Structure formats: C-alpha cells, structure tokens
Amino acid sequence: MMKRIVISLLMCLLMSGLVYAKEDAKMKDTFSVIHARKSVRNFTGAPVNKADLDKIIKAGMTAPTAANMQPWSFIIITERKILDDLAAGLPNAKMLTKAGAAIIVCTEPDKANGKSKDLAIIDAALAGGNILLAIEALDLGGVWTAAYPYPDRMKHVKTVLKIPEEVIPLNVIAIGVPAGQDKPKDKYKKEKIHWEKW
Ligand SMILES: Cc1cc2nc3c(=O)[nH]c(=O)nc-3n(C[C@H](O)[C@H](O)[C@H](O)COP(=O)(O)O)c2cc1C
C-alpha cells in the first residue's frame, strides 16, 4: 500500500515537472521569436505557400483593437506581376520584385464607431506587428514598407489593387524566403526606461 502511495506521489511530481517544463519552453519560444525578428529585404524569389499566409493573417487578426472594432482588411498578393507593379511605384519597396508574397494591411475608419475612428490606424499597425512576428515564427523573412502616410504611395497602392476610396492602405509587407542571414538589431537601451516617473 505504502509503495503504491509513494509511486503515485512520484508520478504526480514528474507530471507537474513536465507541465512546467512545457510551459517554460512555450514561453521561451515566444520570446525567441520576438527577439529574432528583423527586417529582411533580400529574398530568393521562391513563392510563399498559402497555408503559411493564412497562419500569418490569422496572427494579424488576433491583435487588439479599440472597442474591439477590428476596422481592418488585409490584401494578400502572391502573383509576380502584381508584386512587380507595386514595387514600380514604391521607392523603398524594391525588394518586392524578389518577394514571394506581400500583405497589405488596410484600415477602414468607417468600420469603427465615433471615438474609435481616430484609433483605426493604431489598430491596423498592431495587426501589422503581429504579422511581422508570425513571418519570423515561420522562418520566413519580411519587411514593413510604408504606404501611409505618403499620399503618392497610398495612391499607387490603391490604384494597383483597386482599393476603395475610404480605405487606407498602411503598408505593403514584403514576405519571402530569406536569401541571406540577417541578424536582429540590439535596440535595448537602459536610458530609454523610466521607472515610476520620468
Ligand atoms: C512604419 C514603418 C515604415 C517602414 N517603411 C519602410 C520602407 O518603406 N522600406 C523599408 O525597406 N523598410 C521600412 N521599414 C522597416 C524599418 O526600416 C525597420 O523596421 C527598422 O530599420 C528597424 O529594423 P528591424 O526591423 O530590422 O528591427 C518601416 C518600418 C516601419 C515600422
């Protein structure tokens, strides 16, 4: 009887140890993705598969939004010609010619209510941040290239993609298989942190 109790206790200890180990591994994994993320601008030209793009968009849609309005839409591009057409009118997005895909995060302030309208750009930017992390998690490379707030760039993206007038394209996120070994920048600066007061 005693032996059975001791064995059960040992099993419980072992199981709880495994649970903690698993949680710890999950936590480390999240932080390793956050710390490994970097802008990647050199791609092999290989396509990005649709299952990965779906995972990336889902990650974008988990982002928080003011009053949970979710005033956003996402355009996924995989066609070579459209990627090239976008690149042609975006001065800082020439890497699109070698990207396998792109995601345009759009914000739709009209889909938010009164006060939340002013926060729609922030809502979409947070989705964009999640998208960049998901790209890193899948061992792909990505870079946010700006459309908003440049009128000429937004106009170009809207024309190429037939985006309605009231919708604002924030960016064109180039996605691809990295051609190099880009490293994350170390941006941790203690002097930027203020504890309790400025
Ligand atoms: C709002 C925003 C606009 C950006 N626009 C461009 C762009 O047009 N072209 C580009 O190559 N990178 C662009 N970037 C990427 C930044 O240059 C990059 O995030 C920054 O240099 C820090 O490097 P890291 O992403 O590797 O940490 C943009 C990033 C943000 C957040």
Q: Is the CB of 41 under 6 A from ligand 1?
A: yes
Please tell me whether residues 75 and 17 are part of one structural domain. Answer: no
Tell whether 7 is covered by a domain: yes
Token pair, residue 33, equals: 């993705």
pLDDT class of 173 with cuts at 50, 70, 90: very high
| Ligand 1 binding pocket includes 126 (Cβ within 6 Å) | no
Regarding whether 124 and 156 lie in a shared domain, the answer is yes
Question: Does some domain include residue 130?
Answer: yes
Indicate if 67 and 115 belong to the same structural domain.
yes
Question: Does residue 43 lie in a domain region?
Answer: no
Query: Is residue 185 assigned to a domain?
Result: no
Is 100 contained in some domain? yes
Name the residue of 136, 143, 150, 181 to mutate for ligand 1: max ligand atoms within 8 A of Cβ: 143
Domain check: are 29 and 63 in the same one? no
* Euclidean distance between CA atoms 110 and 124, whole angstroms: 13
Positive/negative CA dihedral, 131, 129, 101, 43 = negative
Closest approach atom of ligand 1 to CA 185 = 27
Domain identity same for 29 and 55: no
Statement to judge: residues 62 and 145 lie in one domain: yes
Residue 103's Cβ-count burial label (10 Å; 0-12, 13-18, 19+) is buried
CB of residue 78 inside a 6 A radius of ligand 1: no
Task: Specify if 195 maps to a domain.
Answer: no
Q: If you take atom 7 of ligand 1, which residue's CA is the nearest one?
A: 145
**Would the pTM of this model clear 0.85, i.e. be above it?**
yes
The ligand 1 atom at the shortest distance from the C-alpha of residue 187 is 27
Name the residue among 55, 52, 99, 60 with its Cα closest to residue 78: 99
Domain CATH for 63? 3.40.109.10
pLDDT cut 90: percent of the chain above it: 84
- Band (pLDDT 50/70/90 cuts) for residue 3 is low
- What is the structure's pLDDT at 52? 98
Total domains, the chain? 2
Q: Closest Cα to atom 3, ligand 1: which residue?
A: 146
Cα angle 111, 89, 83; round to 5: 75
For residue 9, pLDDT over 90 is answered with: no
**What is the distance between the alpha carbons of residues 62 and 113, in angstroms, rounded to a whole number?**
20
Our measurement of the distance from residue 72's CA atom to the centroid of its chain's CA atoms, rounded to an integer in Å, reads: 14
Q: Does the structure show a pLDDT above 50 at 137?
A: yes
Q: Are residues 118 and 60 in the same domain?
A: yes
**Do both 21 and 117 map to the same domain?**
no
Tell whether 97 is covered by a domain. yes
The answer to whether position 156 is within a domain reads yes
Whether ligand 1 lies within 6 angstroms of the CB of 185 is answered as yes
Q: What residue has token string 């997005």?
A: 93
Quick: pLDDT tens for 40-90. 999 999 999 999 999 999 999 999 999 999 999 999 999 999 999 999 999
| Residue 85: closest CA among 162, 164, 167 | 162
Q: How far is the CA of 9 from the centre of ligand 1 (A)?
A: 54
Please check whether residues 12 and 109 belong to one and the same domain: no
Residues 89 and 153: beta-carbon distance below 8 Å: yes
Residue 72 or 10, more confident = 72
Q: Are 78 and 141 contained in the same domain?
A: yes
Residue 28 shares a structural domain with residue 69: no
Provide the H-helix boundaries in the chain. Answer: 2-36, 50-61, 80-88, 120-137, 151-161
Dihedral sign for Cα atoms in the order 131, 137, 142, 144 = positive
**Residue-number span of the structural domain to which 21 is assigned:** 1-36
Measured between alpha carbons, how far is 130 from 74 in angstroms, rounded to an integer? 13
pLDDT in tens, 98-133: 999 999 999 999 999 988 999 999 999 999 999 999
- Among 189, 193, 196, 178, which Cα is nearest to 37's? 178
